[in-house]
Homo-oligomer: A and B are copies of this chain.
Amino acid sequence: MISRRQTRRVTVGAVAVGGDAPIAVQSMTNTDTRNPDATLAQIARLADAGCEIVRVAIPHADALPGFAEICAASPLPVVADIHFDHRLAIEATRLGAAKLRINPGNIGSLDRVDAVIEAAGAAGIPVRIGVNAGSLATEYQDRDWPLAQKLFASAVSYCEHISGLGFEDIVVSAKASSVNSTIEAYRLLTNELPYPLHIGVTEAGTSLSGTVKSSVGLGVLLAEGIGDTLRVSLTADPVEEVIVGWEILSALDIRRRGPELVSCPTCGRCEVDMVPIAQEVERRLRSMRTPVKVAVMGCAVNGPGEARDADVGVASGRGVGLLFRRGEVIRKVPEAEIVDALMAEVEALDRELRAAEK
């Protein structure tokens, strides 16, 4: 249904970004890079949650030895995130970075940007030109333009400069904390540049408001076919960013990781206690990787229809649940046994599907 915008393809370690590669989910560590053990432990948790590319900050030179250790041991390709000091970026290309992220606007001069690009070219790794509303190119900062236009103009001018050096291994982002400005900036970029786009809403906020802002902003862009890799920004454990990123891709049926759970809003028609049942089913589904569709429904209105449409479903009423498997009623179970009975069916189907894959 969604027609994806065509972009060039780059590779970040073993992960392709752009072209017709799957839209990659990424996040960023918030541990101290000088502590490689803590950072690698966080990367392991991120990988487990489905993170495919991880970004690590190098704020000062004293983070470089840790960064090298992290690159050597990380199961995911590592992106070096560098601001202000271009020498850190050049060092990072020699220490195992799979990609650089810089914002040329705060690197100091175009000569310094050129030195970074030369080092990336020598290492054969791509560079993300990451423009943010909080650090725009100085020549556009004070113009009386809409923010989206300033973000767009900053990103395009840097890309043109770098492309002029013969370097095309570029990924572009242009993020604002305003969802509308972010959407508009990416719409402009997708029509102008051939490079893969890294999409995200920056400084999106705490778990709840950040989840909503990222879902709305990235949802609108992805529904228009825009975006080759995404990061959800939350002021929270970065594992949550990865979970939300996958939920956004699943919501639009772009990519799915593991099962889908459909559950009804509870209402005055509900005759079983749905919230704990749905939460427990969601928790137990989290470790599964097979893309089964599971429905947990609380009444006779939409329940049987949705439960029938799922691979495994339960439609409840008056303290009992009617179990469905692929559209067929299997049996009736008492309320207290709904979760176990449903999960037994889901796990049986999961085993069958995994056996069939082999």
Q: How far is A265 from B235 in the complex, measured between Cα atoms in Å?
A: 4
Number of this chain's copies in the complex: 2
Q: Are B268 and A31 closer than 8 Å at their CB atoms?
A: yes
Beyond the given pairs A202-B264, A203-B306, A217-B219, 10 more chain A to chain B contacts, judged by CB atoms under 8 angstroms and listed by A's residue number, are A32-B268, A33-B268, A81-B267, A83-B269, A133-B305, A134-B302, A179-B253, A203-B263, A212-B251, A219-B220
Name A92-142 residues within 8 Å CB distance of B: 103, 106, 132-136
Q: Does A213 contact B (CB under 8 A)?
A: yes
Q: A39-B268, A252-B180 are in contact. Are A261 and B306 (CB under 8 A)?
A: no
Chain B proximity of A254: nearest CB distance (Å): 10
Q: Can you give 9 A-B contacts (C-beta < 8 A)?
A: A63-B268, A132-B302, A132-B305, A133-B305, A206-B279, A209-B250, A211-B215, A235-B265, A236-B275
Q: Does A185 contact B (CB under 8 A)?
A: no
Map CB proximity to B onto A201-231 as digits: 1 under 8 Å, 0 otherwise.
0111110111111011111100100000000
Name A249-274 residues within 8 Å CB distance of B: 250-253, 261-270, 274
Q: How far is A179 from B278 in the complex, measured between Cα atoms in Å?
A: 19
Chain B proximity of A341: nearest CB distance (Å): 19
Q: In the complex, what residues of B have CB within 8 A of residue A350's CB? A: none
Map CB proximity to B onto A1-38 as digits: 1 under 8 Å, 0 otherwise.
11000000000000000000000000011111100000
Q: In the complex, what residues of B have CB within 8 A of residue A263's CB? A: 203, 205-206, 210, 235
Q: Which of B1, B184, B206, B282 touches A180 (beta carbons < 8 Å)?
A: B1
Which of A236, A237, A274 gathers the greatest number of chain B CB atoms within 10 Å? A236
